[in-house]
Structure 1
Amino acid sequence: MPQSRSSGLLAIYPHITSRDRLLLQLLDDHQVLTTDHIHRMLFLARRTCQLRLGELAALGLLERFRFARAGGGSYPWHWTLGHHGHRFQAAAHRRPEPTVRASRQSIDRLSANPRLTHLLTTNEFFVRLAVHARRHPQARLDRWWSETMTTKQFRTITADGHGLWSVADTTVGFFLEADTGTEPLGRLVAKLDRYAHLIRRGGPQYPVLFWLGGEQREEHLHRLLRDRRVSVPVATATHATDPTEPVWLPGGATSRVRLIELPSDHGQAVADNPNYDDGVFVL
């Protein structure tokens, strides 16, 4: 008798650990992570990470792809949900079960997405926060929302991501604008109008974090911010820095502060959808 699709998925369950479930959820939420991302967040030994990812791929829970480097060699493996991974997450969240074709199309579109580098840059920012929290018991990444979830919940804005970062009893909310150098800085600054509109209609006064590719772009952005005299709280740092350290330069300031030290009106802040489960990020 042919094995049903549901029984095929059930047969995989004994092989799925709690760490695997967390990884599947991360990929469901954020689409793609590299081997390095996964190793830093979830494993101690890189070899153990590589072996486990291979096992999950063999089970059909994960798929991977990578690209050739111009000078020879290859870029790191990029991991995303495989067909059984899509099925597992659909069952966990009561979504319609995807077809093999739908799963394959999702993977193909992701791998060919011209914004893939931007997505990986955004995810790298949050991975750094998660890794810091893993090593420091007082720190927590309480919320990590993708661009899709942030847009769905706040509607007015189209941030690359949104997070809640806590150290001891202090929590800072923020919106992230991850810069890869492909967009004019004037267009980045123009996005602040939407954040101002969100505040005017009663939304949270979270700082907008511009995470930039280099010091020169950061200096140029601050000149634009001074000329525009924006009313939204803004802070900048570069990709070369640890975002948990005193690397954030608020608009109009001369000294840098830690992420947890940025002003953030989190007390009354809730997203537009009260039914969303934050799903605290716990490693």
Structure 2
Amino acid sequence: MPTHHGVRTALRRPRPHMTPRNADVAALTHRLTARDRWLIRLLHDHDVLTTNQIIALTGRARRATTRRLSTLHSLGILDAFRPFLTTGSSPYHYTLGPAGAAILAAERAVDVRALGWRPDATSRIAHSPWLAHDVGRNDFMVRLAADHHRPENRMTLWAGEHVCKALWADHIHPDAYAHITHTPTDGGRRRTVAFFLEHDTGSMRPERVDAKLTGYADLAASTHPPTSTLVLVHASTPGREKTLRALLGPTSTSLGVPVATTNATAHAADSPLADVWLPIGTRAERTTLLGLRQAFPQAGPAPVAPGTWTPDATDPQTHGALPWPPTPPLPPSAVGPAAGPTPHREAR
């Protein structure tokens, strides 16, 4: 994952001008596979995904994936750019293109404007000062979702920043909310760990990170009975994690908010699912993400209305603040017809 994104320069992959209005959605119907539609929804949920992240989620070979992405780009379904790096080259960063927005709007029987998509969406993302943060957050979540070495542990829910804002903006502004479900290979009882993610890049004052715990305490107090949800704080370096823990420890204890921390170095050679999480106030050694369930037995899922995570095709407005549930983090296993001409090979 690139770590030095240029704010002023982003190389956009060329393509003839297209808008949702002139996209022939009907003509594209037979060109789309189930995975293509899944990717359209996922990019709408999370704004931007790199080539490497999409490869990790789909589990397909690099050549096949880059060829398919190039085809979807040529059709206007995806947009793409490469951020400027002072050294080396960055992978393509994919966003939702005009035809993709039109397809998603047609699928949901709404106008494109109701999706929140704008013609300048890709330019805004490419030049956003938060691009490195957003890509880093998504990279972390993709690593959790695509950990094929631990098939018994699966990310069953990934609610991005947009969904979190719609549901809990009165109290908190997390980077993500997710469920990791453990299904024992011996047929035992399934267990789920629900958590909010605070992805810290070191750009924010530690005191501001600490102040966020008040919002999580307020959210817990809004339920009856009060139920706290685990907060995971991912720091950029071991030193940053140590600094944050010194502040978060007393606050977490006084407010009753369950918090665990890790840093990018701790899981660099393994996985965020491994023994890399250090709970605050309960134990001295690191444990697995599923082990945090034992460290914080009082923690539970975040408060939402019944049926929030379940799609209702008959009435997309059922959930009020959340018209459509989050897209599953992993693609459907069934793949439809292959599509399109052979594209030009993507630069790595």
Correspondence for 2:123: 108
Q: Aligned letter for 2:61? A: A
Aligned length: 276
Change (3 A) 1:269 1:119: closer
Correspondence for 2:26: 10
Q: 1:257 aligns with which of 287, 296, 299?
A: 287
For residue 257 of structure 1, report the CA deviation from its aligned partner: 1.1
For residues 204-283 of structure 1, what are the structure 2 equivalents within 5 Å? 204-228=227-251, 229-230=253-254, 231-240=256-265, 241=267, 242-252=271-281, 253-262=283-292, 263=296, 269-272=302-305, 274=308, 275=319, 277=325, 279-283=327-331
Q: 1:95 aligns with which of 97, 110, 125?
A: 110
Give the unaligned 5+ runs of structure 2.
1-19, 184-189, 309-318, 332-348
Instruction: Decide whether the 8 Å contact of 1:214 with 1:238 is kept in 2.
Output: yes
Correspondence for 1:145: 159
Give the unaligned 5+ runs of structure 1.
none
Correspondence for 1:61: 77
Higher helix share: 1
Instruction: Decide whether the 8 Å contact of 2:258 with 2:299 is kept in 1.
Output: no
- Mean Cα deviation higher: 151-160 or 169-178: 151-160
1:235 match: secondary structure: strand
1:74-132 CA deviation, whole Å, 9 max, x = no partner?
A: 32110001100111111222331359xx6431121111211111111111121011111
In the alignment, the residues of structure 2 paired with residue 243 and residue 90 of structure 1 have an alpha-carbon distance, to the nearest angstrom, of 35
- Mean Cα deviation higher: 182-191 or 224-233: 224-233
- Mean Cα deviation higher: 37-46 or 260-269: 260-269
TM-score by length of 1: 0.90
Asked if residue 81 in structure 1 is aligned to residue 102 in structure 2, the reply is no
1:208 match: secondary structure: strand
Correspondence for 2:203: 182
Q: Which structure has the higher relative contact order (CA within 8 Å, separation 6+)?
A: 2
Q: Aligned letter for 1:259? A: L
In the alignment, the residues of structure 2 paired with residue 103 and residue 200 of structure 1 have an alpha-carbon distance, to the nearest angstrom, of 37
For residue 44 of structure 1, report the CA deviation from its aligned partner: 2.4
Correspondence for 2:213: 192
In the alignment, the residues of structure 2 paired with residue 18 and residue 57 of structure 1 have an alpha-carbon distance, to the nearest angstrom, of 17
1:249-270 CA deviation, whole Å, 9 max, x = no partner?
A: 0112311111112136566754
Asked if residue 129 in structure 1 is aligned to residue 144 in structure 2, the reply is yes
For residue 226 of structure 1, report the CA deviation from its aligned partner: 3.2
Instruction: Decide whether the 8 Å contact of 1:86 with 1:98 is kept in 2.
Output: no
Change (3 A) 1:98 1:87: farther
TM-score by length of 2: 0.74
In the alignment, the residues of structure 1 paired with residue 250 and residue 298 of structure 2 have an alpha-carbon distance, to the nearest angstrom, of 25
RMSD: 2.3
